Structure 1
Amino acid sequence: MNPADEDAMEFIRLDSKDFEGLTAKKFARMVNDRLLVRSNVDLHTFQLHWDEFPGIHVRGMRRWMKYAVNHNVKVLDVILDDYDKTHLPPCIFTCHSLQELNLQWGAPGNDLEHIGRVIPDEIYLPSLKKLTLRDVEFEQSSLNKFIAHSPYLEDIHLIDSLCYLNLIDSKVLKRLTIDGSIDIPPCFTISAPHLISFECMGYELKNISWRDQPTLESAQIDARGTTFDGGCKFTEILVHAKKLALFGLDIKVMLEKELPTCSVFQSLVTLEIGKWYLTEDLFVVLRFLQLSPRLEKLKLIHKSVHKAGEGAETKNRPVDGMTFQCPLLESVTIQCSEGDEGIDKLGNVLVANGVSLDKISVTILVTNKYRKDEIHVTLYEYIKKRALQEKISATEGQVKKARR
């Protein structure tokens, strides 16, 4: 897109994938030239996605961000793979026109990357509606300032960050994501009565409590540990949702305790659940299906290998005689790893409860030295392939035995 077109649309979008082979120095010169010839009009969006090395020079990065702020930018979207966050211009956090702020830095998982001055003491963003921060150190005082000085802030997304929070209190918040923490996650309370979407990964459920319980429309929770103690009625938060993704042994422990007396999930259309040994422990899945009469899409994620540090596998509950009816169910996907056993058993349970065989598919995760691949097959193809592999293995075993 040439500069004239960008002026007309009030957009500047820069992605390193579109400038392959260009050094960081030449790229900076090109951006500076583009800004110089641009008409002096307000800027709607400034987007910079840079994931190539060498990293962008700090001075140039500060200059571009200040330019965006000085031209009343509404959307500031910056994703960088290599940048010194201590040199972030404070004017970003006092921009009166800014409606959406997305700042994501690189090297997730490296503790040193979180250290440094990122969020300034002064925060005043009166037009802000959506905040996304990745790989930052985010404290309670910063959150309080964002909420107090951003009266329209409806979306907060904190990703791979050091989150020192104890209370998320907002009367306007609609969407909240807390994805990952490299430190020991603290306990925090959510007081957001208008919250409709909640995503939380890497926390134990016992560390999350609710005040002014919302009516969620969607939730994705990937919990760690197996320590749920029943202190908070999670299903009361989830029971009106249309879409749920619930993973981890802590989720399993919680659902085992709460589903027997839980209300029906009358609005639930899409359910993803698992990351435990499903083929030997189906109680939670079957009970959930009993309570989901309008379910249309189901994804079951089977985990065959217990990972160290996650706590002991929980006890299985009997499923003899358990049946369900999901007449609107359109598709079922079973996700497993290559070599997992018992998937046919899982499929048989679904078929026995009226799910047509042609609606069940299997996604096999194949991991090699360089990458992960997915193989998509029907359940019938999967069973046929497994039977053939078992037959070949049995034949090879007989041959080896005969040679002895």
Structure 2
Amino acid sequence: MMEGQDLAIDRISDLPDPLLTHILSYIPTEEAVCTCILSKRWIKVWPSLRVLVFDDYIPQSGYLTEGEYRQREAKFLRFLDGVMFNRESTPLDTFKLAWTVNQWNTHILVCRILRCAVMSRPRLLSIHINTDTVFDLPNSIYTCTSIEEMSLWLEPERHDPHNDNFIGLRSINLPFLKKLELGNINLDDNLMRMLLSGCPLLEELVLLGCFLEMNMISFNVLKKLVLNYCCQCSTLLEISCPGVVTLIIRSKGTEGITLKNMSSLATGDFSFEVENEHLSNLRLLGGLSNVTTLNLDIDSENVMDFLLADIPNCPTLKNLKSLELGVLHMMYDYDWNLVACLLQNSTNLKDLTLHFYPIEDDYNAFRYECLEVVKLSFPGKTVKLVNELVRDREDVEGTASVEITAKIIILECEGEDQGSSSAMVPTAERT
């Protein structure tokens, strides 16, 4: 090659179309479509995209004027319509739509776009719509046999018990669906029955902010169940899923939950954050017989009262290796009764993490022999607590006593005397 000759070579354009479309699937769809201006070679590339992601979601606190909303939406609609009806008939792998609907008549176009997407037989379908207009999604969404993962989010929240099925569901036939995520949607027993019969391979169910008008969640093949900040209408929700391996429940208010037939449960993560005067019952411990990892976060006195009443149902936790408890209060004996119950029933426990409220002058201590690692997380001064955790002492009246000889790891510590704690802990390693 002669000196000074232009060495620039367009190697990317020489790649085959399938490889180019695969590369474009990793960038936003809007940018992928814009590659058509590069050269004639690229004009025929983007229509074969198998991953389409459209995101025009604007939070309600988006601070746009009505005119700005309309202008933005009109531009987004033109782009969305142009892409969907000018692409090739290539089957889709992924279709994601996040859209803030501001005009009352645009829901018609939403359904049109979604029908077009379903006709392309996607493997993953995600719909996140923010609208004040109540409308039904096309039923073809729930009968698309190619879908393996689905996410439906409708905002703002519409916890209206008189609205039977806000998503307009009439039937379900999703024979290959393995993961389903629903956000801010009303769910009743009838819908759960349709899910059970129409999704025979469903392994993961995630409910976020949903309104639960049901008495039972029962799946035999489900492996993971997540209930995040859902509202209950019934007085007691029974969860009976013998195949579930992971169960996550986070609640700011619940009527009652009971676990039954949870023989495969290995990981339990439970969080109850505030006082709930409507709580009628809570039976968790009986469903934990085979857990290996347990996180129990209780920031509510009445929730703790129900758990204390549930102690007689606590089985031997022979498989439990890692236990995380919070938020504990050093002044309340009932905290330690629950801790003692779990420790006494956990004969093979190796890793214990405790999260505390700020420490007061009056507190109790416990000791345990078999642990390998103890993690402590709490604000305030730590030395006094650490010394009590590892020092031999007589039982505090009304409180169980076990001896800790494990390595103690302080996750958080604030206070003037934390620097001297290392020398004051003779039986534990301070890290």
Is the TM-score greater than 0.5?
yes
CA distance in structure 2 between the partners assigned to 1:147 and 1:280 by the alignment: 43
d(CA) in 2 for partners of 1:301, 1:190: 30
Partner of residue 350, structure 2: 295
1:257 CA drift (Å): 4.7
Whether contact under 8 Å (1:294, 1:327) holds in the other structure is yes
Q: 1:55 to 1:266 in 2, by over 3 A?
A: farther
Higher-Rg structure is: 2
Q: Deviations over 1:104-154 (max 9, x none)?
A: 12234x646994631422222222112211111111001101101211112
Q: Distance in 1 between matches of 2:205 and 2:183?
A: 11
2:98 aligned counterpart, secondary structure: strand
Range with bigger deviation, 1-10 or 63-72 = 1-10
Counterpart position of 1:399: none
Structural mapping, 1:234-245, within 5 Å: 234-245=284-295
Once structures 1 and 2 are overlaid, which stretch shifts more, 20-29 or 141-150?
20-29
Contact kept in structure 2, 1:192 and 1:212, CA below 8 Å = yes
Match of 1:275 in 2: 327
Structure 2 residue runs without a partner (length 5+): 1-26, 34-43, 63-67, 392-403, 420-431
Contact 1:28 1:56 in 2 (8 A): no
Q: 1:326 to 1:54 in 2, by over 3 A?
A: farther
- Partner in structure 1 of residue 339 of structure 2: 285
Q: Could you tell me how far apart the structure 2 residues matched to 1:231 and 1:181 are?
A: 15
348 and 61 in structure 1: CA distance in 2 versus 1, 3 angstrom threshold = farther
> 1:265 aligns to what?
317
Residues 114 and 162 of structure 1 are in contact (CA less than 8 Å); yes or no, is this contact kept in structure 2? no
Q: Shift of the alpha carbon at 1:187?
A: 1.6
In 2: Cα distance, 1:350 partner to 1:254 partner: 27
Residue 144 of structure 1 corresponds to 193
Q: Which residue of 2 aligns with 1:127?
A: 176
Q: Report the aligned-residue RMSD.
A: 4.0
SS, match of residue 127 in structure 2: strand
* Counterpart for residue 415 of structure 2: 383
Contact 2:161 2:213 in 1 (8 A): no
Q: 1:78 and 1:226 mapped to 2: Cα distance?
A: 35
Q: Is the 8 A contact 2:143 2:173 kept in 1?
A: yes
Q: Which residue pairs with 2:228 in the alignment?
A: 179
Quote the Cα distance in structure 1 between the aligned partners of 2:310 and 2:260: 19
For 2:134 and 2:148, the matched residues in 1 are separated by 21
Decide whether aligned partners of structure 1 residues 328 and 14 sit closer, same or farther in structure 2, where only a CA change above 3 A counts: farther
Runs (4 or more) in structure 1 with deviation over 6 Å come to: 4-9, 51-56, 203-206, 226-231
Equivalent residues of 1:113, 1:135 under 8 A apart? no
- Tell me if 1:11 matches 2:51: yes
Matches within 5 A, 1:240-389: 240-248=290-298, 249=300, 252-257=304-309, 262=314, 264-278=316-330, 280-281=332-333, 282-283=335-336, 284-289=338-343, 291=346, 293-296=348-351, 298-300=353-355, 302=357, 319=364, 322-325=366-369, 327-329=371-373, 332-335=375-378, 345-350=384-389, 352=391, 353-354=404-405, 356=407, 359-362=409-412, 379=413, 382-384=414-416
The equivalent position to 1:88 in structure 2, one of 137, 142, 146, is: 137
Q: Does 1:200 align with 2:249?
A: yes
CA distance 1:168–1:263, change in 2 (3 Å)? closer
Change (3 A) 1:327 1:5: farther
- Secondary structure in structure 2 of the residue aligned to 1:28: helix
Q: What displacement does 1:55 show? A: 10
Cα distance in 2 between the residues matched to 1:253 and 1:5: 63
Equivalent AA in structure 1 for residue 74 of structure 2: K
Indicate the residue corresponding to 1:68 in structure 2. Answer: 117
More helix by share: 1
Residues 282 and 306, structure 2, Cα contact 8 Å, conserved in 1? no
The CA distance in 2 between the partners of 1:333 and 1:77, in whole Å, is: 40
How far apart in 2 are the matches of 1:117 and 1:206?
23
CA deviation vs aligned residue, 1:85-117 (integer Å, no higher than 9, x gap): 523112111111111111112234x64699463
Identity between Structure 1 and Structure 2 (%): 19
TM, length-normalised to structure 1: 0.71
Cα gap change, 1:147 to 1:50, in 2 (>3 Å): same
Map 1:205-244 to 2 at 5 A: 207-223=256-272, 225=276, 232=283, 234-244=284-294
Tell me, in whole angstroms, the C-alpha distance in 1 between the residues paired with 2:154 and 2:209.
10
Higher mean C-alpha displacement, 295-304 vs 209-218: 295-304
CA 1:214–1:263: 2 relative to 1, 3 Å: closer
Measured after TM superposition, the shift of residue 287 of structure 1 is: 4.7
Secondary structure in 1 matching 2:238: strand
Say whether 1:191 aligns with 2:240. yes
Cα-to-partner distance string for 1:328-365 (whole Å, 9 max, x where unaligned):
31x625155xxxx56655444445434556x2122xxx
Alpha carbons 1:136, 1:161 under 8 Å: kept: yes
CA contact (8 A) 1:94 1:123 kept: yes
Distance 2:152 2:133 in 1: 12
> Is this contact kept in 1: 2:159–2:185, CA < 8 A?
no
- State the Cα deviation string for residues 200-253 of structure 1 (Å, max 9, x = none): 233888833344342311112224648999995x33422322222212245533
* Residue in structure 1 matched with residue 212 of structure 2 by the alignment: 163
Amino acid at match of 1:295: K
Distance, in Å, in 2 between the alignment partners of 1:6 and 1:272 is 49
